[in-house]
């Protein structure tokens, strides 16, 4: 279960805690504050730290070893029911898109076009695609389940091969192809 909280202003936060480790899909790093998770990336610790320092230059970062990482890991690996509070920094438009992505169940995929329609923005497919790409919660907001209308994968923030691996894990027998853009040669 995921709980969402839109939170655009972190300037009163002094410390962000982070943890890194491995999950079945490779490196995983998370960042959180007292109220909940603010980032979850399929990244190793060092590049994740660089990104956090860039994103939050005036906030103290503290490495921890708590059960928070374990809860995220259990959610990703499907080994236990867990509830996570996501502190989302984004626009109301992005929040609308991300809430709709969360409703896409394991074993299902939809197109960017369908996501735009479900979210109430049928003529904003590119803006919906940009919102999907701005997701800071790998797997938790399952943007890997969004495909082009032609069934090809498109980009994935944490690597196109990982997107294919996750989807093929979630949908046994599925075979996907990567397509850089919807209009790659032969995809029209």
Active site members: 143
What residue spans of 24-80 are helical by DSSP H?
45-55, 67-77
CA atoms within 13 A on the CB side of 18: 27
In a 3-state reduction of DSSP, which class is residue 14? coil
Residue with tokens 């943890």: 19
How far apart are alpha carbons 60 and 56 in whole angstroms? Answer: 8
Structure tokens given for 57: 């230059």
Round to whole Å and give the CA distance between 43 and 11. Answer: 25
Cα separation, 117 vs 10, in Å, equals: 32
């Amino acid at each position: 279960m995921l709980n969402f909280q839109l939170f655009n202003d972190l300037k009163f936060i002094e410390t962000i805690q982070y943890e890194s480790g491995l999950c079945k899909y490779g490196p995983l790093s998370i960042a959180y504050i007292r109220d909940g998770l603010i980032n979850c990336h399929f990244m190793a610790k060092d590049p994740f730290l660089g990104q956090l320092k860039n994103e939050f230059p005036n906030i103290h970062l503290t490495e921890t070893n708590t059960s928070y990482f374990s809860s995220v890991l259990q959610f990703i690996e499907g080994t236990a029911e867990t509830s996570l509070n996501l502190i989302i920094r984004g626009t109301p438009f992005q929040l609308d898109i991300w809430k709709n992505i969360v409703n896409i169940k394991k074993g299902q995929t939809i197109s960017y076009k369908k996501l735009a329609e479900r979210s109430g923005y049928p003529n904003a497919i590119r803006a919906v695609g940009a919102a999907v790409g701005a997701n800071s919660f790998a797997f938790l907001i399952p943007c890997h389940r969004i495909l082009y209308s032609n069934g090809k994968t498109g980009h994935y923030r944490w690597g196109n091969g990982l997107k294919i691996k996750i989807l093929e894990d979630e949908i046994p027998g599925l075979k996907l192809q990567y397509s850089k853009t919807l209009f790659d040669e032969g995809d029209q």
